[in-house]
Amino acid sequence: MHAEVVVVGAGQAGLSAAYHLQRAGADFVVLDADAAPGGAWQHRWASLRLDRANGIADLPGLPLTGDPAERASTAMARYFAEYEEHFALPVRRPVAVRRVTRTDDGFALRTGEGDWTARGLVNATGTWSRPFWPAYPGRETFRGRQLHAAQFPEAADFAGQHVLVVGGGISALQLLIEVAEVTRTTWVTRRPPVWRETDFDPDAGRAAVALVEQRVRAGLPPGSVVSVTGLPVTEEVRQARERGVLDRLPAFDRMTPTGVAWDDPARTLDVDVVLWATGFRAALDHLAPLHLRGPGGGIAVEGTRVVAEPRLHLVGYGPSASTIGANRAGRTAVRELLATLGG
């Protein structure tokens, strides 16, 4: 099977790219690994509501409507499904792209549902399928429960247990506050949290994006969003501070059968659950045969275009990881890619 352009992934960035490809009259297909529309949103924890989700932006051409208190996973899955139907986007699923290699005129994509060829590729696979679990000595000896934020069920599941939340990002903060409503918690971060007391205005947004762009242009991994934006201080955060929920501890040195321990001073903490809210990494393993990673560990990208392979654009990666950034990236990627392909 062949298409002039293949979009891999039907999340925010992939659907944005598909919208602009369709407007340009391009021959394209979207291959999505999920069984249903919704991108990563359909997998988010049940208690995350639209009004608590961080920075949802409308997809181009069709606004998101609905109750702000609705479950985000349900609302966004419905919205993405409506979007695909409204614009009659050629999305095929479930089709997981396993391996991408070069051909004389583009790329060959091996999937679990047959192979594809394409002259151009827009990769929009996001990060949700690659949760990051940090390595700690003794982790395999811990007798309690360990789970990643990607597996979070609901706070009530932890009632009566001491939960250790590890991570300094927005998801860690949200889950910590939620779990603290029903049980005892302890918060551990590698660095002291950086709080943002002021509104995140356009100037601050541009400055944050510029820092991420600088990293990916140099071929470095993008880094976390919070590292450049800080954690927003909402009324919910202020109340949690007053209750002592946000009194954090520095990163521990090892895990024990009953919890965690620090080397200096010799201190231990017994816990029942370790919740790793330690973020995600870009899901790019299928691109490994293209040998795009540089000495810095990342893929050098100018805007959305891969420097070493101009027929490949990464959307929803680095500076375009936010929903509004993904929209812009989809438009930019399509314009540049079609120009490269001569269309």
Tell me the per-residue pLDDT of 308-322, one tens digit each, with 9 for 90 and over: 999 999 998 876 566
Give me the mean pLDDT over the 9-21 stretch.
Answer: 95
Distances in whole angstroms, Cα of residue 277 to Cα of each of 1, 84, 152, 168, 186: 40, 31, 9, 8, 13
- Which tops the pLDDT comparison, 326 or 328? 328
Q: Residue 232: what pLDDT?
A: 84
Ranges 14-23, 188-197, 271-280: which has the least confidence: 188-197
Distance CA 343, CA 120 (A): 11
Tokens 């927005």 found at: 170
Mean of all residue pLDDT scores within the chain: 89
Dihedral sign computed on CA atoms, order 167, 172, 176, 177: positive
Q: Give the model confidence (pLDDT) of 37-86 as tens digits.
A: 999 989 988 888 887 776 678 899 999 888 888 888 999 999 999 999 99
- With contact defined as beta carbons under 8 Å apart, do 313 and 290 qualify? no
For a pLDDT cut of 90, what percent of the chain falls above it?
66
Q: Give the model confidence (pLDDT) of 172-218 as tens digits.
A: 999 999 999 999 999 999 999 888 876 655 555 555 666 666 666 66
Dihedral sign computed on CA atoms, order 217, 219, 224, 228: negative
Helix-strand-coil split of the chain, %, nearest 5: 35, 25, 40
Give me the mean pLDDT over the 250-279 stretch.
Answer: 94
pTM: 0.88
